Amino acid sequence: MSLPFRKLHPTFVAEAGPIDLRDVHDEATLAEIRAGMDEYGVLVFRDQKLTDDEHVAFARRFDGELHAKTGSRVVAKNRFGNEALTDISNVGADGELLGYEDRRRQYSLANRLWHTDASFEDPPGRYSLLLARVVPENAADTEFADMRTAYETLPAEMKARIEDLRVHHSIAYSRQTLGFEFTPEEAAQLPGAIHPLVRRFAGSSRKSLYLASHASRIVGWPLPDGRLLIQDLRDHATQPQLVYKHKWRVGDLVIWDNRTTMHRARPFDDTTVRRELRRVTTLDLERATA
């Protein structure tokens, strides 16, 4: 088949399909989707009816090994019994809305910071696949930032300055910026990881900035200088012209490349209205070939 793509933003993001991802098992169609990811960085698939098991199975078919060492695992037990299926919702294991001071809610508030999934691990996350199950009537959008165009629009002297820098990514750091405290035992399970600030990968000749709220420091730099540079680059990357806002519909499955984008959830009245999404993230490993 030939999969159509319709651009949703001038520099990245496209809607793919119509297609039912439950039926996608052939390598040719999977390759078309991967090629679309290389070109657009974010793909939107409408009207998907994947069960949790089908969601996980498609992610594995699409890109192989799954990320299961989530930061949330040290705070609360996964209510689905599968750490590869991340609960992006405001409800607890009992199905009730989380209270204002619930520790799980406080932890999840950091999703409103610009971030990249699993950059605090090595290997980090490659693709995230987020499926909307319950969407409130009031806005509960997700924003994405184009990190390839962000790099390309930097001044030449800045590109030269940052080309070989490496950054420590820590989910404990990003949560602590909002006042969330891990116990010593929890923090010991979240040491973080070091990755290049500028990345290029197979499938694209373009370079990308790789930093977000998990980026705690630049290796070898004094702490204040490194954090100021990270903040300056983040501000540059989140200029309005580089940001796409996705307005969720039930059945939307959005796939994004964590190597070329940042994202953040936008605030909504999460203590009174229900919002349930499921996310599976793949690891940035070489894919096996037949």
Q: What is the reported pLDDT for 287?
A: 65
Rounded CA Rg of the chain: 18
Q: What is the reported pLDDT for 290?
A: 39
State the Cα–Cα distance between residues 119 and 214, nearest whole angstrom: 7
Q: What is the reported pLDDT for 1?
A: 61
Give the tens place of pLDDT for each residue, 59-98.
999 999 999 988 788 788 888 889 899 999 999 989 999 9
Q: What is the reported pLDDT for 206?
A: 95
State the Cα–Cα distance between residues 139 and 12, nearest whole angstrom: 22
Query: How many angstroms separate the most distant Cα atoms in the chain?
Result: 54
Cβ atoms of 199 and 207 closer than 8 Å: yes
Angle between helices 52-63 and 27-40 (to 10 degrees): 80
Q: What is the reported pLDDT for 155?
A: 98
Sheet with 166-169, side-by-side order of all strands = 193-196, 166-169, 215-218
Q: What is the reported pLDDT for 205?
A: 84
State the Cα–Cα distance between residues 215 and 195, nearest whole angstrom: 9
The full set of domains in the chain, from first to last, is 5-283 (3.60.130.10)
Q: 73 is written with which tokens?
A: 């695992």
Q: What is the reported pLDDT for 288?
A: 54
Burial class (CB in 10 A: 0-12, 13-18, 19+), 1: exposed
Distance between first and last Cα of the chain: 20
Q: What is the reported pLDDT for 69?
A: 82
State the Cα–Cα distance between residues 127 and 130, nearest whole angstrom: 10
Cβ atoms of 46 and 18 closer than 8 Å: yes
Amino acid at 30: L
- Collect the ranges in the chain with pLDDT lower than 70: 1, 287-290
